[in-house]
Amino acid sequence: MARINKKDIEKRLLEYSTIMPAQFYLLCKLIEKEPGDILHDFMHNVGMESLGLRDTQKSNAREYFISCEYGQDFYTEDDLRNIFKEMDSMGSLYPGKGDDRKLIDLHATWRDKYHEYWFEKWFLKVRRKQ
């Protein structure tokens, strides 16, 4: 079975260095927005995270991802839409502001276990070898 282990979780820390496309850089300068902030927002939108982001932004990010045909070597467009729908559902379960820290910790423990189940379900759907 494909398992998410501690090393996989540590890989979530993204340290990335690149030369930005000139027009993206200039756009960021014009609007006085840090490029990293835009990339961070985009990753949260594509991941269907629940950080106060609007549905329109998440929908546009999903459509962009699908239109670029990311993942379509493994999954159909309908599969990808279901993956996004399930990610959005997971994100919507995060406790609200002002909730007890114990509830947040309990949710985080459950979420980590559910992420493992969810990842395996989709990973094995296409019968990939580990």
Q: What is d(CA 122, CA 128) in angstroms, rounded to the nearest whole number?
A: 10
Strand extents, DSSP E, 1-130: none
Which candidate, 38, 33, 40, 35, places its Cα nearest to that of 14?
40
| pLDDT tens per residue, range 15-57 | 888 999 999 999 999 999 999 999 988 998 999 987 666 789 9
Q: What is d(CA 20, CA 35) in angstroms, rounded to the nearest whole number?
A: 9
Helix (H) or strand (E) holding 121: helix 101-125
* Residue 65, both tokens: 């991802």
Specify the pTM.
0.81
